[in-house]
């Protein structure tokens, strides 16, 4: 089994969840305060999370679709954690 799959647990869920996590690390020019302000204005959940080596902002659009956003500071952490990504053009 590939190493990255060891942390994943697949299971059948017979109940539909209202949450839909979409995994994408998206670099944005906004800071945490600006993202929290957008979330507060829209009534959306915005959560700062430590992913064990880098941080992301969980930005829950309509409180259903989660995007992982990287502020400029968090982008630096992410690229330091995955150094090979910094060299990809």
For 67-77, what is each residue's pLDDT tens digit?
999 999 999 99
Asked if 67 and 22 touch (Cβ cutoff 8 Å), the reply is yes
Mean pLDDT for the chain? 82
The predicted structure's pLDDT at residue 19 = 65
Instruction: Give the ranges where the chain is alpha helix by DSSP (H).
Output: 32-42, 72-81
pLDDT band at 5 (very low <50, low <70, confident <90, very high): very low
In the Cβ-directed half-sphere of 4, how many Cα atoms lie within 13 Å? 0
At 34-50, the pLDDT tens digits run: 999 999 999 999 999 99
Walk me through the domains of the chain, giving residue ranges and CATH numbers. Answer: 19-87 (3.30.720)
Instruction: Tell me the C-alpha distance between 68 and 58, whole Å.
Output: 5
The pLDDT assigned to 83 comes to 81
């Amino acid at each position: 089994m590939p190493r990255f799959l060891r942390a994943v647990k697949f299971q059948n869920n017979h109940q539909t969840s209202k949450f839909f996590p979409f995994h994408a690390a998206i670099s944005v020019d906004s800071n945490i305060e600006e993202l929290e302000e957008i979330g507060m204005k829209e009534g959306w959940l915005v959560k700062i999370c430590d992913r064990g080596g880098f941080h992301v902002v969980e930005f829950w659009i309509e409180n259903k679709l989660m995007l992982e956003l990287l502020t400029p500071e968090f982008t630096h952490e992410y690229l330091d954690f995955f150094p090979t990504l910094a060299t990809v053009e």
